[in-house]
Every structure is written in C-alpha cells, then in structure tokens.
Structure 1
C-alpha cells in the first residue's frame, strides 16, 4: 500500500449542469484521436516511474490555502460505514456509506462485486452538481455500474457539503482543495476494507472531478496506481475562475480578490491552487479523455494539461473524440472500455 503526505483545503463552484451528464445510450461516431507520451492503453505494461528528487521534495508551505499545504496534510481516511443497501444485482451490491476525512463526515455510494476478493478499487470524483439539490451517488452512474461489473470495488465520494456529509464552508466551496482531501481519504478508507487489494487502486474524475483528481495526484503522489480524467476542467485555477465563476457569480470572485488579492498582485497564490504547477510530483500514469466539441470544458484545457504532464515526465495519454460534447453520449462506451483496459493494465487486474 502506498502512503502520501500532504493541510487544510478548498473548492471552485461551477454553474449548475456544468459537469453532470449521465446514462445516455452509446452510438457510433468517428474514431478518436490518441496522443500518448508512452504506449497507448492497448499496448503492453510499462514500469511505474521512479520518483525524482524534485518529486520527493515538498515546495515551500504557504500562509494561505494551497496545494503545498495540502501536500503536508496527514490523511487518515477511515471509518467507512454502511448506512443501507440500495440494490443487489447479478454482479454487485450497491450501498450508501459514510467515511471520515480527517474528522469530516463524507457520504457516498459503495459498489462491491460479488465474491471474496481481494478486488482492485476505484474512487470516483464526480463533476459539479449544485449541492443543495445533490443526491448521494449522483453524477457518475454509468461509470459506477460498468466498473463494478468489470470487477472493481467502487467508492463514489459525494464530497463534503453534499448529501449526508458534514457541511462545507464558503471558502471550501470556492477553492479546489477540500474535495481533493476527501478523495484522498476515500482511497485510504477503501484500502482498509478486507476485500480490497490495497496495492491496486485508482481514481477516475469527471469534469470538476478531473480537477479534483489532478489535485489529489500532486498532493499525494504514489497514493494510487493510475488515474483517468474525463472532460476535465483546467489544471490552471484562473482558467476555471474566469470561465465558470466570473460570469455566474462575480461577487464570489470579488470576495476572493478581497481576501487573497488579485492575480496581478498575488500571482503566487493562484499558482499554488493550480495542479499544473506541481505536475512533476505525479508518479501515476494518467489517461485524459475529452470530446472535441465540448463547450463546457474547452478541449484546449486537456490538450494543455496533457502537454504539461508530458513535459513533467508523466506517462500521459490524451484521447480526443471527434463530435463528442461534454456529456459523452455517442462514444461513451468506447471511452469506458478504454478506461477499463487502461486500469487493468496498470493495476494488474
């Protein structure tokens, strides 16, 4: 089992519907474009990267919320408790659960394949859904079902401030760090289960959850064995602030500037909230999936993220789907088959 190191943290609010998208029927479309820094997901296994000295050395701590402070947190995900069983299928049992994220109660859904295990496990980080209307387990229903049927234990974290979890503070909802803390602790809580193989874990994040996943990877390198991000937000905090928050909630941007300064006055603060600043810490292979006509999260964001991951020495593969929008309708089945193949290759399942 891998163990990270990494302090308090927080999250950007995206507009309603910006990152949801569920359960359409797949259909045909042009073939995807694959750009890889190493063999594509269908080729043979690669050796995990060896952490560099730069990876092992923490950047300076800050006196404001930042990824460097999250890197120094002591994560202690534990106390995964079943609240009730929602359903039993021919392949798995689905249950509502809670777990502890450094003392904060977080809810979610757990899907356990039938059998004794130990099974590989995946934490799902969902996209933005307005917390006041969010229902536990919402946002990645297709991925939950497919991955559980493929033999993975799946924990879909709701994040704090959602469903049955403890409330989230305003600042936690404005920045992008507390949800990463909850995701990291979700992995640790999963690894404590007797039927989970703690040496075979991964993260899959969608839209805002893609940003959560990237933050978790830089905060806790070595925590998981692989990661997949779908239709992700930008790895640059200010892109998301300008694209989502400024047009919809300008008062939140003004409050952020009042408390921490403007990007011109305090550029280091905003760099410290951007996962791309610390991509050289990532030790896991990353699969980046994006629709070529995504109008919610522009494809250029994933192209830039992939390019910067490559530059930092990360094993990164970018797959762009022609004609596909943010919700991944026509080519979703192709994308999840590719995801499962990628995870099995890197988790050895």
Structure 2
C-alpha cells in the first residue's frame, strides 16, 4: 500500500513538472501571456481593490461602488414664466451643502414624473460663478421644452460649501453630480429613470466619468468637452484655466502635487491611471452620447471630441458628433440655436 502511494505521488510530481515547463514555454513565446494580460487588465478595470491605495477615490471602480444618497432641501421660488417655475435649492454632497438652480415645467405632470437634466457648467473662476446668472439662456431653452433642469453649482462655487477640487485630477465634481442625481431620484416630480446629464467644456470630463460610474444613465450631451482618455490631454492640452493650479497654495494645488508625486503624470501603462480614464469603462454603458464642438474653438481643441467619437465608433453605444464652423468655445450665434435644438431632440428621444 505504501509503495503504491509513493508511486502515485511520484507520477503526480512528474506530470506537474511537465505542465509547468509547457506553460512557461508558451508564456515566453507570447502564446499565453497576452491572454492572461488581457484578463488581468479587464479584472483590474472592473473590480475595486480590497486594499485602499492613495487617490483611490479618483478611480471609476471606486466611484461605481460608492453609495450616493441625497435629497433636495427647501425650494425657494425666484421666477415664474408661462412654461416653468424657477427655484433656488440645495442638496447634500459629501456633507457639503451644494446649491443649484432648479426649474420645473408647468402643466400636468406625467404619471411617472418629468424627465430631468442635471446641468453641469464649464470652468468659471469659482468666486465669479453665479448660480442664477451663468448659462441662463441654456437653462431657459431646456426648461421651456418640458424638462426639469437642475443646474448645480459644484462645490466651492458661489455660495456652495467646500473647496473647488477641479475636474480632471479629482472626483469631487463627479460625486456632486451623482449626489444631485440621487436627490432628483427621490423627488416626487421627477421620473427617476429618466435623468440625463448636460455639460460644457471642463464638464465634458465630469459627465463622461459620471456616466462611466453609473452606466445606466440614459443620455448625456457634451458641448466643447475636454479630457476623456487623458491621452488626449497630453495631445491637445487646454487654453483655459480649468486645469491650472491657482497661484497661491491651496488644498487643490497640494493634492494635485501629491497625486503627481505618487503616480507621476498620466501614463497609459500605469495601472492607477488606467482606472481613472472613463474611456476604459465603456463596455457596459447603456445610455446614449451626443457631442457638439465648433471647429474654431480656440480654448478646447475639437480633436478631443473627434477622438472620443472615434473611440465610441468601436462600441455599441449610440452616439453622434456635430461640428460647427462658427460659434467658438461657447457655441454662440446661429450655432447656439442649432446645437440647442439638436440637444432638445436628443433628450426627447432618450428621456421621454
């Protein structure tokens, strides 16, 4: 009996050795390693590491696993038109009181609630941003077409609490957006399944990372957006101040320097940066994406939108890119009306 046991053990060791040699040979020849590498990358992209690491809160896996819970505070009516009523309200995001301009359509509310749009502004110096003034024409255009519109300040802007963390190297604004979505979903006048996002310039990054974090968001629209893959940031850079640290020492500046000291600037091969770029998390997105950009935009190169559109061409995500010969970074003049009409039609298709 003892002899047989020894024989079986010896055969097992011999076979294991053969398998190990074959596997090693295949791996070194490149037959196995790309497959393993691909599976490893996929797992790394989709799963949150059980061990916390510095700046983990910036990554899409972290944002996907985070719980968002908020509700609207008191609604303070400030204006009434034939089509909608405007209010100033606020909500909680990471323990901060974030203000916003809320418009609610008049007329009979649909049985399941109004479709809604969370409106995220582009870069404006936080001390100069005004809740009731900036993007007023955009909000009016959307509001009079039957959408609840919630134009949120983002933390640190106007009278909203907190430090403005910036878009590209922080998750603060994404968290503000997703808490705003949670607040609207709890409101009795909004259809919780029909909440889209609209963003301009800097908010292009915020919108796409928000969508990657909550792939069930049904529709997003981006005007003159920037920084999607982060490779594009290295390629095109920006001609505004949305990515530059303030001249004085602030929390935002210190955090950004700590980030670069820890991981270096963006590197496509770096495991951390792979988890930050929204373009690595498109496979399960269920919503649709519409892009608008003027060819003569001197602030954000239209290449950002073209490159994103090319990436989206490789997916099953419904998407469209509209280019405008005039209008500049803010899509003014005739381009504004044309872009707004296309925006309305897109949201009507995917939110109503």
Give yes or no for TM over 0.5. yes
Q: Contact 2:48/2:65 (CA < 8 Å) preserved in 1? A: no
Q: C-alpha separation between the residues in 2 aligned to 1:211 and 1:138?
A: 23
Q: Which moved more, 1:122-131 or 1:185-194?
A: 185-194
More helix as a share of residues = 2
Q: Cα offset for 1:83?
A: 5.2
* Distance change in 2, residues 1:215/1:248 (3 Å): closer
* Distance change in 2, residues 1:60/1:198 (3 Å): closer
What residue in structure 1 maps to residue 19 of structure 2? none
What residue in structure 2 maps to residue 95 of structure 1? 87
What residue in structure 1 maps to residue 151 of structure 2? 156
Gaps of 5+ in 1: 1-53
Q: Contact 2:118/2:181 (CA < 8 Å) preserved in 1? A: yes
Q: Per-residue CA shift, 1:110-138, capped at 9, x if unaligned?
A: 01111341311111011011112222245
Work out whether 1:229 is the aligned partner of 2:213: no
Work out whether 1:68 is the aligned partner of 2:56: no
Q: Per-residue CA shift, 1:174-197, capped at 9, x if unaligned?
A: 624211111111122112221212
Q: 1:309-324, aligned counterparts within 5 Å? A: 309-324=312-327
Aligned mate of 1:123, from 111, 118, 127: 118
What residue in structure 2 maps to residue 113 of structure 1? 105
RMSD: 2.7
Q: Which one has a bigger Cα radius of gyration? A: 2
TM-score by length of 1: 0.76
Q: Which moved more, 1:332-341 or 1:307-316?
A: 307-316
Q: C-alpha separation between the residues in 2 aligned to 1:250 and 1:93?
A: 37
Q: Which moved more, 1:259-268 or 1:104-113?
A: 259-268
Q: C-alpha separation between the residues in 1 aligned to 2:318 and 2:350?
A: 11
Q: Per-residue CA shift, 1:145-174, capped at 9, x if unaligned?
A: 01110010110011111123221265x666
Q: C-alpha separation between the residues in 1 aligned to 2:277 and 2:219?
A: 20
What residue in structure 1 maps to residue 127 of structure 2? 132
Q: Which moved more, 1:288-297 or 1:252-261?
A: 252-261
Q: Cα offset for 1:297?
A: 0.9
Gaps of 5+ in 2: 1-41, 248-252
Q: Cα offset for 1:227?
A: 0.9
Secondary structure of 1:280's aligned partner: coil
* Distance change in 2, residues 1:250/1:204 (3 Å): closer
